[in-house]
Amino acid sequence: MAIAREGRTCSFCAAPGGPGTDVPLVGGLGAQVCVSCIDEFHAIVHDEERVSTARGTMPWERMTDPELLATLPQILASAEQNFAFAQEWVDMLRARHISWAEIGRVLGVSRQAAWERFARKSGDKTVIA
């Protein structure tokens, strides 16, 4: 099973991107970042004054209440995108015949717990004996 590249959003600004859009995304381990965020972060890390400002306060400490509220759906969308990636990853492991016991072991849970978390969502009908 292939991991989908379509329908992703930038984990930092929530811009929709990826194949079929004008917003290229670079990703890893579920997180995605767009070119605009890469440019912005690059500018910050190469500007001592901006690095000092960024270290002084967290961005949300400067946000208004409406800005905080508007950001909440973006945070949840990013979390859901990361969980969907984890689901695709588990589906890929299962397609390679990796056992629920091995998946559970690396997650620090029982095979039953791993199966309950991921198999039902993927439609995996494997029965845990």
Q: Which positions lie near Zn ion, rule CB under 5 A?
A: 10, 12-13, 15, 34, 37
CB of 36 to Zn ion, least distance (A): 5
Phi first, then psi: what are they for 28, rounded to 5°?
-165, 135
In this complex, which beta carbon is closest to Zn ion, that of residue 36 or of residue 122?
A: 36
CB of 84 to Zn ion, least distance (A): 18
- Break the chain down into helix, strand, coil percent, rounded to 5: 60, 10, 35
In this complex, which beta carbon is closest to Zn ion, that of residue 33 or of residue 114?
A: 33
In this complex, which beta carbon is closest to Zn ion, that of residue 15 or of residue 103?
A: 15
CB of 25 to Zn ion, least distance (A): 8
CB of 8 to Zn ion, least distance (A): 11
Both tokens assigned to 33: 């970042």
Both tokens assigned to 39: 């440019």
Altogether, the residues listed in the chain come to a count of 129
**By beta-carbon distance, which residue lies closest to Zn ion?**
10
Q: The dihedral of CA 124, 6, 24, 12: what is its sign?
A: negative
In this complex, which beta carbon is closest to Zn ion, that of residue 41 or of residue 106?
A: 41
Both tokens assigned to 2: 């292939």
